[in-house]
Chain A
């Protein structure tokens, strides 16, 4: 069975601060694909970053990066130099059996000017 935990319900930071969002993904699978999505107030989910189990390095895409800690099954997502437009709900979403996403509960990020 898979379990996705995003312990942080809400986070507030001041613009230009770095912010890290936590995700714990418990699975017995040795091959997995894990995604981060952002949901702004407009409603659509926007793809941010992806990690595959066979990735050698943590991925960096612009201001987004993430860090994998195998010992704790943590896939933490970091936004560098946050901006007000980063305010949204962020979801950690591994691919489950059958190719559908299994979304975590989400973390609401507020970036204050």
Chain B
């Protein structure tokens, strides 16, 4: 079956602009998480969506937002871009579970979107 698809793969934006990244999870998976990877901070959790609802959020400013559609595809948006937002943004797809029970299944990641802010 098809893997996790992230578009675009590469993006160059100017400081102050906004950007939207897209993630299509594995068919049937309802959980989509986003992570930011930078050389200085490593891999950090942004947020998770499950059945169109944001279920968990990391410690990022409100400029970072996301949403999930009824077909489980997810988008994340970064407004008023800063140089420090330059990073690899990774999307993770999991079958997920409803409620608060921990889903201990593995996540499948896309190849990421490399965002460069100039």
Contact = CB atoms under 8 A, between A and B. Distances in A.
B3 to A, nearest CB: 8
Chain A CB within 10 A, most for which of B35, B44, B48, B106 = B106
Interface residues of A, number: 24
B115 to A, nearest CB: 13
A24 to B, nearest CB: 16
Contacts of A100: 33, 45, 48, 56, 58
Nearest to A4: B42
26 contacts: A43-B114, A44-B4, A44-B90, A45-B92, A45-B109, A50-B106, A95-B102, A96-B45, A98-B48, A98-B55, A99-B31, A99-B55, A99-B96, A99-B102, A100-B33, A100-B45, A100-B56, A101-B33, A101-B35, A101-B107, A102-B45, A103-B35, A103-B42, A103-B43, A104-B42, A106-B43
